Each structure stands twice: as C-alpha cells, then as structure tokens.
A and B are shown apart, each in its own frame.
Chain A
Amino acid sequence: MKDKINWPGRLFLIVIFAILYLPIFYLIFYSFNSGGKMYHFQGFTLEFYKELFQNTRLLIIVLNTLIVALLSALVSTIIGVMGALAIHQMRKKSKNSVLGLNNVLIVSPDVIIGASFLILFTTAGLKLGFYSVLLSHIAFSIPIVVLMVLPKLGEMSPSLIDAARDLGASPWGVLSKVTLPFIAPGILAGFFMALTYSLDDFAVTFFVTGNGFSTLSVEIYSMARQGVSLTINALSAVLFLVTMLVVAAYYAVAGRKKIRVGGRK
C-alpha cells in the first residue's frame, strides 16, 4: 500500500535531498582544489589535508572540542539520570513544575544562555576558558538527558520493582540490577545527544570562552570571518567522515532495536 508517490512528489524529494547534501559535498569537492578557492576547480591536490594535519594549533582545538564533549556528556548523563529518577517519583503537580524548569534551557535561545552564563561566571569570579566552557556544556546538556531518560522510566512497570523488592533486593540493588539496565537505551541516547549538542554548539561557547581557549565551532567562525581558506574545507571533509562513522556506530548499537520495532509494523 505504501511507497505510492507520484513523480512530481518524487522530484520534489530528490531536489530537497540534493539541496540538503549540496553544501557538504561542495566543501569536500573544493578541498581538493589546487587553485586554493571555492570556485574554478584547477587540479587535484592533497595540499590542504597536509596543511591541516601539520596545523598543531587546530589539532589542539579539535582535541579540546572532543575532551569538552566527552566530559560534559559524561557528567550531564550522570546528573541527568539522577534528576530523571527524582522527577519520576514525584507527584504530578510538582513533576510538571520541575519539568518546566528543566525545559527552560532547551527552549531558550543560545544567545540568552550564552549571555546569562557569561554574567554568571564573571559574577562568580571564574576565569573564562576551559572550565567555563565545560560547565556551560554540562548545564545545557542535562535537560536533554532528562528528557531522553524519563520516557524509559515511564515505560517501566512498577510491578517489576515490587517483584525485585519482594525477592529481597536492597534499594541499591533495585537501582543497579533492575532500573538502570531497563533504562539503559535512554541513557545511551541521552549521552549521545549531549555529545552532539556539545560538539555542535557555537553560540553559548562563543560567549563563555576566553582568549586562550577555543573550540572548533568558534575557531571555524573566526576563520570564516577572515575569508575562504581551504584548510576549513579539508577539515570539514574529515569531520564529515568521522560524523558518519559515529552515527553509523550509534545506529549499529542503539538503533537495532528501533529497526526491529519498525519491522514489526
């Protein structure tokens, strides 16, 4: 019954897909341009890749970005899971108000988050740099983790926990042997989302990063403002490859279940 699209619809979808992927492939294509510009392809060269891998400053920034992303995802996942467990046990009324507070950072524009965190860190006397960036990333990732974990907690039947208690499990036993394994897919999804949010963030980081510390987005922004440089293109090609690998790995681990559910339909 499905897969009935007439050809104008098909054409429309093809055009949309083409436009969505165009900039990415455009960047990658011109990263091999010996002409050094994003037009007039002159000849094939790997010069800009060589330049990229010899640019230690940029490589350190990539490393910084990864460290911030991994650390912030880890910490925000831990705090977020604790928060989700707490919210799950609340009565409906207090649940809704805490959830409202939880979602403030999700719906707030990045500029507001960035500006308010800048005031916060400056008022607290914290020097802007690695720690301010890390703290901000943890802060804006926590609500996402909560939102990914809560539905999983909701799916869990209370009788499961009662059964574990009746069999003599301690509160810690219930948590570690029953609850956490059950909500593991939500935790994994939350961790992954926090990771991508951190890697992709520009606006918040731009506000709270000092002079000495930079992440990839902030660096690309300042490079792009100075004009076209094909090192950015080479970098984007590498990042595109890595992103696709990570996404593929994620779906190999977490998506298997989803596809099975989809198949059942």
Chain B
Amino acid sequence: MQNSRVTKLVYALPYYLWILLFVALPIALIVYYSFFDIHGNLTLHNYEKFFTPVYLKLTLSSFWYAFLITIVSLTIAYPVAYLLTKTRNSQIWLLLIIAPSWINLLLKAYAFIGIFSTYGMANSFLETIGIGTKQILFTDFSFIFVSVYIFIPFMILPIFNALNELNPTFLEAAQDMGASKWTAFWRVIFPLTIDGVKSGCQVVFIPALSLFMLTRLIAGNRVITLGTAIEEHFLVTQDWGMGSTIAVFLIIIMFLFMIVTGSRNRKRGA
C-alpha cells in the first residue's frame, strides 16, 4: 500500500513540478520584483507610484473599457444564445459561431484595420447612406467593436450551455401561472441561467482588462489598459519593478472578480 502510494507520487511528479515551477514560482517572482525600482534597489516606491493620479486614472479607464466591452458582449450574446437554442440544429449553428474564434486573433484584428480604414468598407458604407467618411480606426468605437467581436463567442458558449440545460417545464409552469413572456424571462429564465452569464463575464472581463495588442493596432495607442501598461514597462522601458507592481494589482483585481462571480463553484460543492 505504502509502496503504491510512492509510485503514484512519482507518476504525478511532472505535474507537481509544473505547478511549482510555472504556477507558484512565477507569481512569487512577480511579487518579489514589484519591490525593486529600475536601478535594482529594494523599495516601496512602485506602490507609492501606483497610487498617484496617473496610474489610478489608468486603472479606472481600464476598468471602464473592460466594463463596456463586457456589457456590450452580454447584451448581444444573450439573445444570440437564446435564439440558437431555438433552432433545429442548434449544435451545428453553435459550432459555426465558435468557428471564427479558431482563426488567428491577429489576423482578425488586422482585417479590421482594412475594414475601418479611411477608404475601407465601413466608410464606403457610411458614404453610400449619406453620412460621409468618418475617422473610425483609432477611436474608442473601433476598439470596443473589435474587442466585442473577439470576445463574443466566449460569452455565447457558456450562456448557450446554461440555456440548453434549462428544464423547459419551468417555463411552462411560469406560463401556466399566468406570467407574461417578460416576467417569465426575468423571473425564471434569466435567474436560472445566471451561472452561464457569470462565467461568460469572467472570460470576457479579465482578458479585456489586459488587452494590449488591440490597443496598439486598433485604438492607435489612444486607449491604455493595465495590460498595455504592463507590456510597456516590461518590453519598452524595461522597468520590470513597476510592471510587476501593476501586475500584482491586476492579479488582486482578478481574484476579487473571481470571488464576486464565482458562486457557481460553491453551489456545485454544496
């Protein structure tokens, strides 16, 4: 018995090594580096700097954009998921929704440079309907549009699954008791699929806080997110300490967000 337990441990050794080296150690290193300034002196200066208006404003605007992206994604994704469950071959339609997410992210972002450019398709369309050419690329609108475009399949998927698991008798019961369509939706369907909505928000909000290539390609550096700031500090100014400090805050925000939206696991455990 004792022997087989040892064998099992040896079996799983590569996995435990992975946890140690690539999960625990990197986080520890981020925290460690956040206490060093650009000259390698041990200091709390980075944390002081984080609480200056420059970085607080950055954090706030990063939140604001992530919030907008999540809300827009949700308002589009929920009806899409709902309508998909009503189609006959819903699994195939779902597959077709997911398929574009297999195309390289960078290529899709690049496509939008063409579509939103001065002579691109979006502007020809605006021209035809009489609005005239507008600057679309490098605006907040294009940034949010492309972000939503990229994240939306990840929002649709969990909501679709939640709606699909929903027992139709609940809805019938609500209708039998005289609930209108809207009441049935807000009082029955939506609360019962809230877990899907939460996990959808998780997979959109956190990555949206840390986007950096879209801010450069589509928003033309007008939008700076926490992710952009981290990338800038690590790869451009080489101020790893400050970059790590921002990363520490991003990790904390991430954990808080997981706790807020994470009732799902607790329920499962109960």
A binds B: yes
A148 interface contact, C-beta 8 A: no
Interface string of A88-115 (1 = CB under 8 A from B): 0100000010100110110111111111
Shortest Cβ distance from A244 into B: residue = B99
Least CB distance from A243 to B in Å reads 5
A13 touches B83 (CB 8 A): yes
* Residue in contact with A40 in the complex, picked from B21, B80, B119, CB distance below 8 Å: B119
A109 touches B106 (CB 8 A): no
Residues of chain A contacted by B210 (CB below 8 angstroms) = 109-112, 203
A167 interface contact, C-beta 8 A: no
A147 interface contact, C-beta 8 A: no
Q: Which of A134-191 contact B (CB under 8 A)?
A: 135, 139, 142, 146, 171
- Which of B8, B19, B99, B114 gathers most chain A CB within 10 Å? B114
A38–B107 alpha-carbon span in the complex (Å): 13
Residues of chain A contacted by B104 (CB below 8 angstroms) = 199-200, 216-217, 220, 236, 239
Known: A13-B80, A83-B15, A86-B11. A23 touches B108 (CB 8 A): yes
Interface string of B86-105 (1 = CB under 8 A from A): 11101101011101101111
* Residue in contact with A16 in the complex, picked from B30, B80, B226, B258, CB distance below 8 Å: B80
A96–B217 alpha-carbon span in the complex (Å): 40
A4–B88 alpha-carbon span in the complex (Å): 8
- Which of A4, A108, A109 gathers most chain B CB within 10 Å? A109
B231 interface contact, C-beta 8 A: yes
Shortest Cβ distance from A40 into B: residue = B119
B22 touches A171 (CB 8 A): no
B15 touches A86 (CB 8 A): yes
Shortest Cβ distance from B84 into A: residue = A13
B213 touches A24 (CB 8 A): no
A22 touches B115 (CB 8 A): yes
Instruction: State the interface size on chain A (CB cutoff 8 A).
Output: 83
- How many residues of B sit at the interface, in one of the four size bands? 35 or more
Residues of chain A contacted by B97 (CB below 8 angstroms) = 16-17, 20
Least CB distance from A165 to B in Å reads 12
Known: A82-B15, A109-B254. A30 touches B114 (CB 8 A): yes
Residues of chain B contacted by A236 (CB below 8 angstroms) = 103-104, 107, 110-111
B236 interface contact, C-beta 8 A: no
B113 touches A117 (CB 8 A): no
Q: Which of A200-219 contact B (CB under 8 A)?
A: 200, 202-203, 206-207, 216-217
Q: Which of B146-171 contact A (CB under 8 A)?
A: 149, 152-153
A26 touches B258 (CB 8 A): no
B76 interface contact, C-beta 8 A: yes
Residues of chain A contacted by B177 (CB below 8 angstroms) = none
Residues of chain A contacted by B256 (CB below 8 angstroms) = none
A84–B187 alpha-carbon span in the complex (Å): 39
B14 interface contact, C-beta 8 A: yes
Known: A2-B88, A24-B111, A115-B247. A86 touches B83 (CB 8 A): no
A215–B21 alpha-carbon span in the complex (Å): 24
Residues of chain B contacted by A26 (CB below 8 angstroms) = 111, 114-115, 121
A19 interface contact, C-beta 8 A: yes
A79–B251 alpha-carbon span in the complex (Å): 26
B103 touches A116 (CB 8 A): no
The 5 A-B residue pairs with the shortest CB-CB distance, nearest first, are A38-B114, A83-B15, A86-B12, A109-B210, A116-B26
**New A-B pairs, 7, CB < 8 Å, besides A27-B111, A112-B30, A139-B18:** A30-B114, A200-B104, A200-B105, A203-B210, A206-B231, A217-B105, A236-B111
